[in-house]
Amino acid sequence: MSTPPIHPISDFPDKLNPMLVKELRQGLRGIGFVVLFISLQALLCFILLITATVASYENAGSQLSRVIFFFFSFAVLLIQPLRGISALSTEIKDNTIDLLCLTRLSAWRITYGKWVSIVSQSALFLTAIIPYLILRYFFGDMQMLAEILLLLSTFLLSATFTAITVGFSGLTSALIRVILPITAAAIGFMILVSMYFGGRNNYQEIIQLLTLESAASTFTFLGLICICIYTAWMGLDLGTSIIAPIAENRATLRRIVSLGLITTTLLVFSFTGVGADVVIPLCLVLCIPVSMISLTENSRLVPPIVAPFTRRGVLGKSAGRLLYPGRATGLIFVLTLYLLMHGLLLFYKYRGITVDPWDVVVLNSFFAILFFALVLTHIFARKYSNRIGIFMLFICSQFLISAIIYACEEWSSKLDVMPYFFWIPTSFSYNDNMPSDALLTASYFNVVLYATIGFVTTRPLWKHIRATEQQVHHDP
Amino acid sequence: MSNAIAVKNLYRYFGPLKAVDGISFDVPHGSVCGFVGANGAGKTTTMRIMATLDYPTMGNVEICGINVVNFPAKVRSLIGWMPDHFGNYEHMTVLEYLDFYARALGYTGKERMMRVQEVMEFADLIPLADRLSNKLSKGMTQRLCLGRSLIHDPQILIMDEPAAGLDPKARVELKHLIRILADEGKTIFISSHILSELGEMCDSLLFINNGRIVHHGDAESLKHGTDHQGGYFFDVQVLGNPQALSDWTVTNPYTEFIESRKQGGRIRIESIDTAGRVLTSMIKDGLQVVEFHKEQRNLEDAFIDMLDKVNTPPEMPPSSNAMPPTPPSQ
**With contact defined as beta carbons under 8 Å apart, do B200 and B30 qualify?**
no
pLDDT confidence of residue B320: 42
The answer to whether the Cβ–Cβ distance between A6 and B71 falls below 8 Å is no
Kindly report the nearest CA distance between residue A6 and chain B, in angstroms.
6
Query: CB-CB: which of B73, B103, B116 is closest to A6?
Result: B116
Q: B325 lies in a domain?
A: no
Please give the share of chain A, as a percent, with pLDDT higher than 70. Answer: 95
The answer to whether the Cβ–Cβ distance between A22 and B112 falls below 8 Å is no
pLDDT confidence of residue A422: 85
Q: B49 lies in a domain?
A: yes
Kindly report the nearest CA distance between residue A413 and chain B, in angstroms.
48
Digit-coded pLDDT (tens) for A342-363: 888 888 888 877 788 888 899 9
**With contact defined as beta carbons under 8 Å apart, do A59 and A201 qualify?**
no
pLDDT confidence of residue B324: 46
The answer to whether the Cβ–Cβ distance between B328 and A30 falls below 8 Å is no
Are residue B11 and residue B108 in the same domain, yes or no?
yes
Q: Is the ipTM of this structure higher than 0.85?
A: no
pLDDT confidence of residue A448: 95
Kindly report the nearest CA distance between residue B67 and chain A, in angstroms.
11
Are residue B92 and residue B9 in the same domain, yes or no?
yes
Query: CB-CB: which of B53, B79, B120 is closest to A6?
Result: B120
Are residue B127 and residue B54 in the same domain, yes or no?
yes
Give whole-number Cα distances, A47 to A71, A129, A148, A202, A330, in Å: 10, 13, 21, 21, 52
Task: List all residues 6 or more positions away from A111 whose beta carbon is below 8 Å from its beta carbon.
Answer: A87, A88, A166, A167, A170, A236, A239, A240, A243
The answer to whether the Cβ–Cβ distance between B104 and A8 falls below 8 Å is no
Q: B324 lies in a domain?
A: no
Digit-coded pLDDT (tens) for A174-219: 777 777 778 888 888 888 787 777 765 677 778 887 887 887 788 8
pLDDT confidence of residue B315: 52
Boundaries of domain holding B189 = 5-218
pTM for this predicted structure: 0.82
**With contact defined as beta carbons under 8 Å apart, do A365 and A359 qualify?**
no
- Residue A79: which of A221, A192, A243, A207 has the closest Cα? A192
The answer to whether the Cβ–Cβ distance between A302 and B92 falls below 8 Å is no
**Average pLDDT estimate for A408-425:** 80
> CA nearest B106 in A: which residue?
A104
Pairing of strands B17-27, B5-14: antiparallel
pLDDT confidence of residue A240: 93
Domain boundary at B183, B218, B253, which? B218
Digit-coded pLDDT (tens) for A207-230: 887 887 887 788 888 888 988 999
Kindly report the nearest CA distance between residue A12 and chain B, in angstroms.
11
B48, B57, B58, B100: which to substitute to probe chain A, counting the most A Cβ within 10 Å?
A: B100
Q: B318 lies in a domain?
A: no
**With contact defined as beta carbons under 8 Å apart, do B154 and B80 qualify?**
yes
**With contact defined as beta carbons under 8 Å apart, do A120 and A24 qualify?**
yes
Cα–Cα–Cα angle for A272, A277, A282, nearest 5°? 80
Query: CB-CB: which of A6, A18, A95 is closest to B83?
Result: A95
pLDDT confidence of residue B317: 46
- Ranking A73-77, A412-416, B107-111 by mean pLDDT, the lowest is A412-416
Q: B288 lies in a domain?
A: yes
CA–CA gap between residue B292 and residue B263 (Å, rounded): 12
B70, B124, B155: which to substitute to probe chain A, counting the most A Cβ within 10 Å?
A: B70
The answer to whether the Cβ–Cβ distance between B91 and A9 falls below 8 Å is no
Digit-coded pLDDT (tens) for A131-150: 888 887 777 777 788 888 88
The answer to whether the Cβ–Cβ distance between A98 and B83 falls below 8 Å is yes
Q: B88 lies in a domain?
A: yes
Digit-coded pLDDT (tens) for A104-128: 999 999 999 999 999 998 998 888 8
Kindly report the nearest CA distance between residue A383 and chain B, in angstroms.
7
Cα–Cα–Cα angle for A395, A401, A402, nearest 5°? 95
Are residue B205 and residue B251 in the same domain, yes or no?
no
Give whole-number Cα distances, A93 to A9, A22, B299, in Å: 29, 18, 35
Digit-coded pLDDT (tens) for A147-162: 888 889 999 999 999 9
Mean pLDDT of chain A: 85
Are residue B138 and residue B190 in the same domain, yes or no?
yes
Kindly report the nearest CA distance between residue B196 and chain A, in angstroms.
29
Domain boundary at B187, B218, B249, which? B218
> CA nearest B122 in A: which residue?
A3
Are residue B204 and residue B299 in the same domain, yes or no?
no
Task: List all residues 6 or more positions away from B249 whose beta carbon is below 8 Å from its beta carbon.
Answer: B255, B256, B257, B267
pLDDT at residue A444 is higher than 50: yes
pLDDT confidence of residue A57: 61
CA–CA gap between residue A381 and residue A391 (Å, rounded): 9
**Average pLDDT estimate for A392-417:** 84
Are residue B212 and residue B246 in the same domain, yes or no?
no
B62-121 residues touching A, CB cutoff 8 A:
69-73, 76-77, 79, 81, 83, 85-92, 95-96, 99-101, 103-106, 108-109, 112-113, 116-117, 120-121
- pLDDT by residue for chain B (330 residues), tens only, comes to 578 999 999 999 887 888 999 999 999 999 999 998 888 889 999 999 999 999 898 899 999 999 998 899 999 999 999 998 877 788 889 999 999 999 999 998 889 999 999 999 998 899 998 899 888 888 889 899 999 999 999 999 999 988 887 888 888 888 888 888 988 889 999 998 777 777 778 888 888 988 998 888 777 767 666 665 667 888 899 888 888 888 888 888 788 888 888 888 888 888 888 888 888 888 888 888 999 888 777 777 777 777 776 666 555 444 444 444 454 444
Q: B161 lies in a domain?
A: yes
pLDDT confidence of residue A161: 94
Query: CB-CB: which of B89, B92, B117 is closest to A5?
Result: B117
Kindly report the nearest CA distance between residue B148 and chain A, in angstroms.
9
Are residue B34 and residue B107 in the same domain, yes or no?
yes
Q: B12 lies in a domain?
A: yes
The answer to whether B132 contacts chain A (CB < 8 Å) is: no
Report the CATH number at residue B158.
3.40.50.300
Question: In A, which residues are within 8 Å of B156 by CB distance?
Answer: none
Q: In the sheet that B5-14 helps form, which strands lie side by side, from edge to edge?
A: B17-27, B5-14, B58-63, B66-67
Are residue B112 and residue B200 in the same domain, yes or no?
yes
Query: CB-CB: which of B76, B95, B105 is closest to A9?
Result: B95
Question: In A, which residues are within 8 Å of B108 by CB distance?
Answer: 14
Burial (0-12, 13-18, 19+ Cβ within 10 Å), A380: exposed
pLDDT confidence of residue A3: 62
Are residue B239 and residue B202 in the same domain, yes or no?
no
Q: What is the count of structural domains for chain B? A: 2
Question: In B, which residues are within 8 Å of A89 by CB distance?
Answer: none
B138-197 residues touching A, CB cutoff 8 A:
148
The answer to whether the Cβ–Cβ distance between A26 and B92 falls below 8 Å is yes
> Phi/psi at B170 (nearest 5 deg)?
-65, -35
Are residue B247 and residue B286 in the same domain, yes or no?
yes
The answer to whether the Cβ–Cβ distance between A383 and B15 falls below 8 Å is yes
Are residue B210 and residue B252 in the same domain, yes or no?
no
CA–CA gap between residue A427 and residue A443 (Å, rounded): 10
- Compute how many other C-beta atoms are within 10 angstroms of the C-beta atom of residue B284: 8
The larger pLDDT score, comparing residue A465 to residue A418, is at: A465
CA–CA gap between residue A105 and residue A107 (Å, rounded): 7
Digit-coded pLDDT (tens) for A240-287: 998 888 888 999 999 999 999 999 988 888 777 777 888 888 889 899
CA–CA gap between residue B22 and residue B12 (Å, rounded): 8
**With contact defined as beta carbons under 8 Å apart, do B17 and B198 qualify?**
no
